[in-house]
Chains A and B, each alone.
Chain A
Amino acid sequence: AQSVTQLDSHVSVSEGTPVLLRCNYSSSYSPSLFWYVQHPNKGLQLLLKYTSAATLVKGINGFEAEFKKSETSFHLTKPSAHMSDAAEYFCVVSDRDFGNEKLTFGTGTRLTIIP
């Protein structure tokens, strides 16, 4: 069975300061990992994905995440927060279930940007 733990339900940072959203995973297999973002009253958008290639993954809008197998972590970072980054962020682990992708979502981290 696979699972994802997002360690912070809410993170607040000032505009222009670094962002760190933490995620730990558990998977029986070599996992694929994703970060999705959900802006208020919007659908989910894929930020970045890890699929056993490079451990440091770059995504859209300046976000990146590093896969650390020894720590079973996939933390999301951004060097400098922007007001438009305020949203809900979901860490997701994937598994193959009868040949089809099955995503397991974390409980989400709400990112607030302080002007």
Chain B
Amino acid sequence: DTAVSQTPKYLVTQMGNDKSIKCEQNLGHDTMYWYKQDSKKFLKIMFSYNNKELIINETVPNRFSPKSPDKAHLNLHINSLELGDSAVYFCASSQELGTTGKNFYEQYFGPGTRLTVT
């Protein structure tokens, strides 16, 4: 069974268009994330949601709007796409794990969505 799934896997579109990427996790996790991986493979967090509430927003342009209809889904909508938005976008989820008195969260990643803006 797929733990974290994303659709579509590939997305090619023109500048100025609006597009959405969907993410679903069946792990029962409370927290979901969106990451952007640029052409140099650098990964940076964009957003984090916990129980449908926005927790982390890393100075992402407001053309990017995450939407969480329930805690198993976190979709990413992008308005007025620009060339610089071309990247691979990864969704992830996590649930608090406790060990030896220190809590930590292991994040599980989806397969990624390769967005190409022409």
Interface of A toward B, CB cutoff 8 Å = 30, 32, 34, 36, 38, 42-46, 49, 51-53, 88, 90, 94, 97-103, 105, 107-108
Residue of A nearest to B105 (CB): A101
- Interface of B: prevailing SS: strand
Count of B residues near A, CB < 8 Å?
A: 26
Give chain B interface residues in 71-109, CB to chain A under 8 Å. Answer: 90, 94, 99-100, 102, 104-109
Q: Interface of chain A, helix or strand or loop or mixed?
A: strand
**Complex Cα–Cα for A32 and B90 (A):** 21
Give the complex CA separation of A105 and B93 in angstroms: 16
Contacting residue for B109 out of A44, A53, A101, CB 8 A: A44
Judging by beta carbons under 8 Å apart, are B100 and A53 in contact? Answer: yes
Known contacts: A51-B99, A90-B43, A108-B42. The answer to whether A103 contacts B56 by CB under 8 A is no
Task: For the complex, give the distance between the alpha carbons of A67 and B102 in Å.
Answer: 16
CB contacts (< 8 Å) of A46 on chain B: these are: 106-108
Residue of A nearest to B58 (CB): A102
- Contacts A43-B112, A108-B41 given: A102-B102 contact, CB under 8 Å? no
Does the CB pair B109–A107 fall under 8 Å? no
Report B's interface with A, CB cutoff 8 A.
4, 31, 40-45, 48, 50, 55-56, 90, 94, 99-100, 102, 104-112
Check A51/B42 contact, CB under 8 A, given A43-B111, A98-B55, A100-B31.
no
Closest to A51 in B: B104
Pair A88/B90 contact, Cβ less than 8 Å: no
Q: List, sorted by A's number, 24 A–B pairs whose CB atoms are closer than 8 Å.
A: A34-B106, A42-B111, A43-B109, A43-B112, A44-B109, A45-B109, A46-B107, A46-B108, A49-B104, A52-B102, A53-B99, A88-B41, A97-B55, A98-B55, A99-B55, A100-B56, A101-B104, A101-B107, A102-B45, A102-B48, A105-B43, A105-B44, A107-B40, A107-B42
Task: Return chain B residues, CB-CB under 8 Å to A88.
Answer: 41
CB-CB nearest 5 A-B residue pairs: A101-B105, A105-B43, A43-B111, A44-B109, A108-B41
